[in-house]
Amino acid sequence: MTVRPITIVGHRALAQRTRKVREITDDIRTLVADMFETNDAADGAGLAATQVGSRWRLFVYSCADVDEVRQRGVVINPQLERFGGIELDEETIEGCLSVPGEGFPTARHRGARVTGIDLEGEPVSVEDEGGVLARALQHEVDHLDGTLYLDRLTPARKREALDAVTARGWRSRGLLSWDPTSLEAADV
């Protein structure tokens, strides 16, 4: 397993829609193993394939559900169903490994269900209502559709987020990714 560089805002892979996985190959298995390793190294709640520069429609997750039970898994070719009202809580900050070091209140549906397949090609369904997992499911599917959480912010918050990205110098330095094993990761 390998920790892969994580793409950051401005990388073209983050704006592209993904391709359906037609066959679970050794390359797909390696990608998933590397994504778990990368997500763990970055202390993430989830990681979409686009965040490691891949166009496959899959993501991994490792976070608590509404009952504070850690859930961990992979969903290949996910289909998202949102339910419950849309919530925007100023106290609930959403972050993203592709916008490291920043976090903003983000409107999300209270609940989410994702269906797809696992690495064995078996049907899988993951659901949560009100927990971090519900947000993560929506967040990761957004990545697979070419959407960043910054796109869901209020106009004022989006401007604040883009100003923060600029202040960190990511665009001026031409950075397109960061290494979660690096001591400078928090400074990216």
Neighbouring C-beta atoms of residue 164, cutoff 10 Å: 15
SS3 40: helix
- Please name which of 119, 85, 113, 91 lies closest in space to residue 104, comparing C-alpha atoms: 91
Query: Which residues belong to the annotated binding site?
Result: 96, 139, 143
Query: Which residues belong to the annotated binding site for Fe cation?
Result: 96, 139, 143
- 140 as an active site residue: the answer is yes
Q: Which of 81, 140, 160, 184 is catalytic?
A: 140
107/165 Cα distance (integer angstroms): 20
- Please name which of 84, 102, 70, 180 lies closest in space to residue 138, comparing C-alpha atoms: 84
- Which two tokens mark 100? 């490291």
Q: Among all residues, which ones are annotated catalytic?
A: 140
